Structures are given as C-alpha cells and as structure tokens.
A and B are shown apart, each in its own frame.
Chain A
C-alpha cells in the first residue's frame, strides 16, 4: 500500500512538473494582465510542492502490517473479472468505429456476461440483443442520441 502510494504520488509529481514545463511555454503575463500560462504555472508549482511533501510524509510513515496483505493490482478470480471488463471495454470502443454500436455492443454484452459467470445461452442471447439493438432503438428513436453506425450503414 505504502509503495503504491509512493508510486502514485511520484506519478502526480511528474504530471505537475510536466504541466509546469508546458505552462512556461505559454505567456505568464501580457499587456492585459495574467496570460494563458499564469494559472497553470502557479497551480503546477503548488502541485509539485504538495507532491514532494506527500512523498516525504508517506516515506516517513511507519509501515502498517496490514499493508502487506493489501494488493493494489487485481488478482485471482476477481482479477480475471477486472481484466475482462477493461479489455472488453477497450475492444468495444475500437469495434464501434468499424462495425457500429449494435454489433459491437451485441458481442460485448454476450462475452462480458459469459466472462462474469453466466452460462444460460438463451438468457445471454436475449440480454445481448436487448442491450444492443434494443438500446440503440430507444436512444436513437426516442431520445435523439446519435450512436456509432458502421460504414455499411448498420
């Protein structure tokens, strides 16, 4: 846990330093007053100081015995479910551009519920169709929300 907090705070420090560098590329002041770089510069500077202070305090903290049992990254059966959600969400985002919302979401729903433990094929089929074609119809027809359509028009 402490190691994870140190890594996360370090990442935030890098983010703040990067923002600081980027803000220096913008003008801090101009003839009207503060420029586009003014607010981000001071924020990034404050953020960097806070990140360093947090790194120091976390580093000085006494190790908590329960920390050793706390795992930051997902693992075991739960980890597989976690990974399934992340990978499928990434896959459906890529797929929607090429095959449209309906087909991408049909496959996403079916694979996701199977990955999360469902085995009854007819329930999977009904849920997948309602969660893709049905949802598409409701959102595009009743709620006027545009959803991705494939280059082939479906």
Chain B
C-alpha cells in the first residue's frame, strides 16, 4: 500500500506538462534511434545525454529512460520492413516479422509489436512497483561487504553471459575496472595513473568512453560495411485483425513473464528473453511449422518479452544500484552525472524522484503506443535518410556530448580514441559490455572492498562471517565453473555486445 501511495504521488508529478514533454521527446528520439540501423539503445542513450544537461535530474532520467524503451521498440520497424534489426534485441522479430511483411501483413506485425510492447512494458512496470521497494528495503541491511559481493556477482553474471570467450570477457572486465581507477583515489585522495595530466584527476569520463565505444565505433563499422540498397516492404495498414489479436493473447502473456523474470538477472541481455519467448511460443503452439513463415505469435512473443525485459531491468538498477546491461549502465551514468546514486538508499532519500521516474515508465508506454500505431508509416520513411547525413548528425551529438559535460576538448580525444579501440575490439570479437559495466562499478567496488577491509583490519575472513556476502560471492564461482564445463546448450542464447 505504501508503494501505491508513492506511485500515485509519482503520477501527479509525471503527468505535469514538462515531464510529459520530456517523456514524449524521449520516446520520439528513442524510436528514431531504434529505427536507424546500427545505432542501438546504448549508443542512442549515450549520444543523447547532452540534451539533458540543462534538465533537472528527474527530467533528465525520464527523458533518457524514454529514449531507452523507445529505442527498444524502434528496432522492430526495421526488422519487419527491411529485415535489418535496428538493435540486437530485434533480431528474433526479423524471423516472422519480415515474412509477414513480404506477405503484405507488415502493418499487422508492427501493430501487434506495438500492442505487445505496451502490455509487456506496462505489466513489467507494475511488477517493478511491487518488487523494487521490498528489494531495496532488504538491501538497506547490506554492509560494504555485501555490496562488494553483490557487485562482483553482478559483474560475473554479465561476464558469463556477455561473451563467447570467458577469458576474454574476464579480461575485459579487469581492463574496465583498471580504467575506472584512473584519477584520485576515492578513500585517500592520492592521484593514480594520472601522470601529471590535469584532465585525468577526475578520472576518465564515462560519457566520452561510452560514446566512443558505442556511438563512434558503431559508425566506423557501419561506414566500412555500408548497405546502399535495402528492399523495403510496403505498408498497407497498421492494425492487426481481430483473429490476429486473439492468436497473440497467449504469446503476449508468456512473453511478459519471460521478459520480466530474465530482466531481473544482470547480464542476461535483451536478446535472450526475446529468443526464449520465441522458442517457448513455438513449443506450445499447435502449429509450430508456421513459425519462421510469418506467424504473428512469433512477433508478439519476442516484442513483448523485449519491452518487459527493458522495464524489469530497471529493478536491479533502482533497488540495488547494479546495471544489468550496457544501456542500463549508461542510465546509471546519467544518474551519477546528476548527483544521484542508484541503489537501496534511493527509495529512502529520493522517493519523489524515483517514484516520478517509475510513474513516467507507465506514461512512456502509453506515449509509445500512441506514437507507434498511427505513425509507423512516418518512421518507415526515416529509413531513407542517407548514411552520410546520419553519420554526420550522430558525430555532432557525440562531439557535443563528450565536450559538453566538462567543457573539455581532452574528452573529445578520449571519445575518438575509444571509438577506434571499440571498433577493433568488435572486429576481434572481444565483448565490450563487461568493460562498460566494470567502468561504472569500479569506484564503488573499490570503496566497498576497502571499507570492508578497514573494518576487518585487513582480513578477508570477514566475508566468511557474513553469510549473505558469502552466498553472493558463490555466484561468480558457480557461473565461472559452469562456463568452464562448456554449456553447449546455452551457446545460442548468448548476447552479443550490440545492445
């Protein structure tokens, strides 16, 4: 009941005209980012951070969250119309969505995707309201040892599921953590790895690194392998028939559950729930042979799971301060830029902000439905923007984003450097997600570990005396052990870094 009261006051704020405007602009920009092939939600959210510099923290988070789930839907449009996923999570939608488009049913596919995304996103937000606060209350009992163990467990889950090669994923995590340590030591204030460069005293900026690794690197990859001609399916109507809606009800329900449950687990990534929901739907179907040939349940299940996952992945961020994917790490960066630390204290210290943001998720889902059903034809036209203009436009935002936070050209160099590094890492198949998450969690991990060791007088035995910390530290051991013994059955589910 307490949560309901908070949520209602959150709605009162979220429905004010300016927060509605921020959510609307975020949904529009997110859909635009999702529509443009090659730019995923992480890159989109990162490059649009400069738009929020002048907003109050609540407005900034509302807009960036709306960009995130807008992008998750936007990717569907390209998947259906041109068989090119706008972002990684839409890969599964291509299977039946584009087949439907080739049969002249593109409108039905996009319509059911919008409806499924709305239902999945809304129900997952309801579950978020129920789950987040008790989880945060429980986490309030955690000491630094438990927080350190929680962050190690979160990182290891990401490592376990983010990369094809466990050693490479672990190495990328360590590299990310080492980069996070550049700057002043958070406990004693001693400069580390700064080499007398004044700009490094504040550490390497998260925003320039993310813009480089995602925005610039994705453009460099796209510039090299640019597709000049795409076959676009014709769009006749944007509403599914009554029979198609009836056929999709079960798929939407199951997709919501799969997306929400997997969204709670750090590191699973958006492609896993969409794939699992699709496979589940095919298993329960009486006519599984239709899947792959334009079955609307295939689109409904994948898209519902996709958006349920997007909203559920906010639970570990808001309640525990653990980002479960690169996009959520970017959002966490935005929280920190605005002076807010996500985690259990957020509900106690900033209830107005957190409940307004949660209420805005409901509002955003409604806005997305309104935007996407009738305007799908307009979004489809955006696919005709030439690459040269899209590339230049994105780079303008990258330069402003990297420079704007500290008014420092050094950060633009950092962005360019990490853009080239990101390009090479992707070509060499090194997973980037663990490094990004490590970069944002590094300072907090160090602080928690050092505080723990200061309490124990330098003894690691303190972890043995704290059962919750010990149990959490067992997770990485299990994950790494599990992966060492070659889980071949999980291989197709692993997430690429494209998100």
Contact = CB atoms under 8 A, between A and B. Distances in A.
Interface of A: 1, 4-5, 8-9, 12, 15-16, 19, 22-23, 26, 29-30, 32-40, 43-44, 46-47, 50-51, 53-54, 57, 70, 72, 74, 78-79, 81-82, 84-86, 89-90, 92-93, 96-97, 105, 108-109, 112-113, 116-118, 127, 131, 135, 139, 142-148
A105 B403 CA distance: 13
Contacts of B386: 117-118
Interface string B181-223: 1000101101011000000000000000000000010011001
Contact of A78 (B223, B407, B445): B223
Interface string B279-323: 000000000000000000000000000000000000000000000
A38 B450 contact: yes
B193 A145 contact: no
Interface string B145-189: 000000000000000000001011011001101100100010110
A8 B420 CA distance: 13
Given A40-B192, A54-B171, A116 B391 contact: yes
Nearest to A88: B395
Contacts of B175: 12, 15-16, 47
Number of chain B interface residues as a range: 35 or more
B381 interface: no
Interface of B: 50-51, 53-54, 165, 167-168, 170-171, 174-175, 177-178, 181, 185, 187-188, 190, 192-193, 216, 219-220, 223-226, 386-389, 391-393, 395-396, 399-400, 403-404, 407, 409, 412-413, 416, 419-420, 424-425, 427-430, 445-446, 449-450, 453-454, 457-458
A8 B391 contact: no
A22 B177 CA distance: 15
Contacts of A84: 223
Choose among B51, B389, B419 the residue with the greatest number of A CB atoms under 10 Å from its CB: B389
A143 B51 CA distance: 7
29 contacts: A4-B424, A5-B429, A12-B175, A15-B178, A33-B454, A34-B449, A36-B185, A36-B187, A36-B190, A37-B192, A39-B446, A39-B450, A43-B178, A47-B178, A54-B171, A78-B224, A81-B224, A85-B216, A86-B419, A89-B395, A93-B409, A108-B395, A109-B392, A116-B388, A116-B392, A118-B386, A127-B389, A143-B50, A148-B407
B220 A86 contact: yes
A54 B171 CA distance: 9
Contacts of A15: 175, 178
A116 B391 CA distance: 9
> Which 5 pairs across A and B sit closest by C-beta, in order of nearness?
A116-B388, A78-B224, A47-B174, A33-B454, A36-B185
A33 B178 contact: no
A16 B173 CA distance: 12
A22 B416 contact: no
Contacts of B445: 39
A55 B138 CA distance: 43
A143 B407 contact: no
A89 to B, nearest CB: 5
Given A85-B395, A93-B399, 16 more contacts: A5-B430, A8-B428, A16-B175, A22-B192, A36-B190, A40-B192, A43-B178, A43-B181, A54-B171, A82-B220, A85-B391, A86-B220, A86-B416, A89-B416, A112-B395, A145-B50
